[in-house]
Amino acid sequence: MPERIKLTEKVIREAEPVPGRDYQIFDTEVRGFAACIYRGGGRAFTLDYRNAGRQRRMTFGRWPEWSVSAARERAKELRREIDAGADPLGQREAKREAPRVTDLIERYCAEHLPKLSERSAADQRSALAKMVEPVWGRKLVTEITPTDVDKLLTKIAEGRARPHKVKPNNRARKLQGAKPTPVRANRIGEVLRKMFTLAVQWGWCEENPAQRFHRRTETPRERFLSKEEISKLAAVLDAAEDRRAADIIRMCMLTGARLGEVRQARFEQFNLEHMSWSKPPTMTKQRRAHRVPISDETAAIVRQRQLLVPKGSPWLFPGDTPGQPVQEVRRFWAQVQKHCGLHDVRIHDLRHTFASLLVSGGASLEMIGKLLGHSQMQTTLRYAHLMDSPLRAGVDAVASAFRPKPRLVHDADEQGGRQSA
């Protein structure tokens, strides 16, 4: 049985270290409360107790940072918890070993992102590394609350000054302030919701704090090329020296495909006999196989590429790096924008224009969704308003049929003259 004395500042200060071992000086007032004198001269407060038949020793404060009176009060609190059946040291160890948000992000990236398309996975990985991990990284997964999610998404929605550099090299960009980014906030909210849903499945937390995050209002970008703009674009592409890049843009316009799908297209995917293009799941955004019909103009581009591309290359548009498809057409598109005066048009807007031309041709939303490869009807509904013109023509036809025919009205004087005659 160790000797007990009442711990005081003087007792701890005058205690001499023993070479080769540590020892404890137990207090007389609180059972198990002691000052540990380390062989190196350091001093700390400990509490010895038993839990489930196991002897436990918990260190909770160093001297002189903790005074004896403060340590004794803390020891009393811990003793009350122990008498109620708690295990303070076990709780500390469990908290130390509990997964943190950094661990959650790492597992999410390792197990879930490989199921997504390459671009979607890269975007999510970048967003988590730049916007989530710096803020939450060291927090426990169980510590994240809906309020934390709301604060983070609010900050993201406010945007940041562009560019994100201390010394931007462009004077015009220096003058740009923060630009609101509500769409980015919504996308990151969706990522967080999925990530914490998996955390619940993995047993890392009990509830999803991002399940009902506040979704900001989004204003979809709607830019469709007019017939005049399409004619200008076609003329510039026909005159372009870079035939490879020009054909990529032409295929985006002719098929409504995404730029990445056209860049990575392979000859084996095209059936020129049945006039179809079969995109594999690895190439589409929805990770589903997508087969679409192609026009004679698109087939002509494929035949021409067969003559121009070196034998043995599987790519319709091989890049400068051997064995890889073309990677960059942004510079070429910038030149096209300049020559056509389409400074506010993105390559992706060609896909919207393709859909608008289908609508004007009488195609249904279901047909448009299948051609564009939409997995959800909600995505296709953004083009519903374009159907107003053909619908209005039908409404006007009904109104014309129902409109009463004009009646011939004779002049009153003329009628009176006829009667007198």
Q: Quick one: average pLDDT of 183-198?
A: 95
User: Are residue 158 and residue 288 in the same domain, yes or no?
Assistant: no
User: Are residue 81 and residue 189 in the same domain, yes or no?
Assistant: no
Query: Do the domain assignments include residue 211?
Result: no
So what's the pLDDT on residue 385? 57
Count the neighbouring beta carbons within 10 Å of the beta carbon of residue 128: 23
So what's the pLDDT on residue 54? 86
Among 76, 96, 116, the domain-final residue is: 96
User: Are residue 86 and residue 105 in the same domain, yes or no?
Assistant: no
User: Are residue 252 and residue 267 in the same domain, yes or no?
Assistant: yes
Q: Can you give the residue range of the structural domain that contains 37?
A: 9-96
**Domain containing 39 — which CATH number?**
3.30.160.390
The enclosing H or E element of 254 equals helix 243-255
Residue 221 has pLDDT above 90, yes or no: no
Q: Quick one: average pLDDT of 288-311?
A: 90
User: Are residue 259 and residue 116 in the same domain, yes or no?
Assistant: no
So what's the pLDDT on residue 191? 96
User: Are residue 306 and residue 184 in the same domain, yes or no?
Assistant: no
Query: Do the domain assignments include residue 335?
Result: yes
Residue 231 has pLDDT above 50, yes or no: yes
So what's the pLDDT on residue 172? 47
Residue 164 has pLDDT above 60, yes or no: no
pLDDT in tens, 344-370: 888 988 888 888 888 777 777 777 778
Count the neighbouring beta carbons within 10 Å of the beta carbon of residue 149: 23
Enter the pTM of the model: 0.57
Of the two residues 4 and 418, the one the predictor is more confident about is: 4
Rounded alpha-carbon distances, angstroms, from residue 178 to 141, 151, 157, 163, 318: 30, 17, 10, 9, 39
Structure tokens at 24: 């404890």
Q: Quick one: average pLDDT of 181-201?
A: 94
Q: In what order do the strands lie in the sheet with 23-26?
A: 23-26, 33-37, 43-51, 54-63
Query: Do the domain assignments include residue 410?
Result: no
The enclosing H or E element of 59 equals strand 54-63
pLDDT in tens, 245-273: 999 999 999 988 889 899 999 999 999 99
User: Are residue 155 and residue 79 in the same domain, yes or no?
Assistant: no
Predicted confidence band of residue 379 (pLDDT cuts 50, 70, 90):
low
Residue 198 has pLDDT above 80, yes or no: yes
Query: Do the domain assignments include residue 418?
Result: no
- Mean of the per-residue pLDDT values of the chain: 84
User: Are residue 262 and residue 373 in the same domain, yes or no?
Assistant: yes
Predicted confidence band of residue 74 (pLDDT cuts 50, 70, 90):
very high
Q: How many residues does the chain have?
A: 421
User: Are residue 42 and residue 153 in the same domain, yes or no?
Assistant: no
User: Are residue 137 and residue 197 in the same domain, yes or no?
Assistant: yes
Query: Do the domain assignments include residue 369?
Result: yes
253-284 core/surface letters (b: 16 or more CB in 10 A; e: else): bbbbbbbebbbbbeeebbeeeeeebebeeebb
Among 96, 124, 154, the domain-final residue is: 96
Query: Do the domain assignments include residue 172?
Result: no
Residue 407 has pLDDT above 90, yes or no: no
DSSP structure string for 318-335? B-SSTTSB----HHHHHH
Query: Do the domain assignments include residue 320?
Result: yes
User: Are residue 158 and residue 277 in the same domain, yes or no?
Assistant: no
**Domain containing 244 — which CATH number?**
1.10.443.10
Query: Do the domain assignments include residue 206?
Result: no
Predicted confidence band of residue 27 (pLDDT cuts 50, 70, 90):
very high
Distance between CA 233 and CA 227 in Å, rounded?
Answer: 10
Question: In terms of Cα–Cα distance, which of 79, 91, 92 is closest to 30?
Answer: 79
User: Are residue 321 and residue 277 in the same domain, yes or no?
Assistant: yes
Q: How many domains does the chain have?
A: 3
Which of 97-111, 120-134, 256-270, 395-409 comes out lowest in average pLDDT?
395-409
